[in-house]
Amino acid sequence: EAGVAQSPRYKIIEKRQSVAFWCNPISGHATLYWYQQILGQGPKLLIQFQNNGVVDDSQLPKDRFSAERLKGVDSTLKIQPAKLEDSAVYLCASRRTGGSTDTQYFGPGTRLTVL
């Protein structure tokens, strides 16, 4: 079974520019998560989708971050405009259902550097 795919793997941009990340979850996984992982910290949830609906976006900085999951499969996360503190690894994860003992599986992440 193919894992969670993410692209690009690396991105370097200047502050105030825009950037977008793409995620393709494991086939059949209804739940999709975007996390931000700053160096030395654990992943922090940005947004969670169940199919194509948003379940939790309480920690998404909505003035600059947006995400969508059209047709309940692929998802994109956008930052516009980027700030220096957005430098981090952005991880996408998926999970079969929302059941409490379902494991979530991570993609390789996109490392963003904002100069």
Partner 1 sequence: DQQVKQNSPSLSVQEGRISILNCDYTNSMFDYFLWYKKYPAEGPTFLISISSIKDKNEDGRFTVFLNKSAKHLSLHIVPSQPGDSAVYFCAASDFNKFYFGSGTKLNVKP
Interacting residues toward partner 1 by CB under 8 A: 4, 6, 31, 33, 40-45, 48, 55-56, 91, 93, 98, 100-101, 103-109, 111
What is the residue whose two structure tokens read 């922090």?
44
Minimum distance of partner 1 from residue 72's CB (angstroms): 16
Considering the complex, state which of residue 78 and residue 111 has its C-beta at the smaller distance from partner 1. 111
Instruction: Give 39's strand partners.
Output: none
DSSP state of 97: S
Which residue lies nearer to partner 1 by CB, 88 or 107?
107
- Nearest CA to 35 out of 27, 26, 25, 45 is that of 45
| Local structure of 61: helix, strand or coil | coil
Q: Which is nearer to partner 1, 27 or 41 (CB)?
A: 41
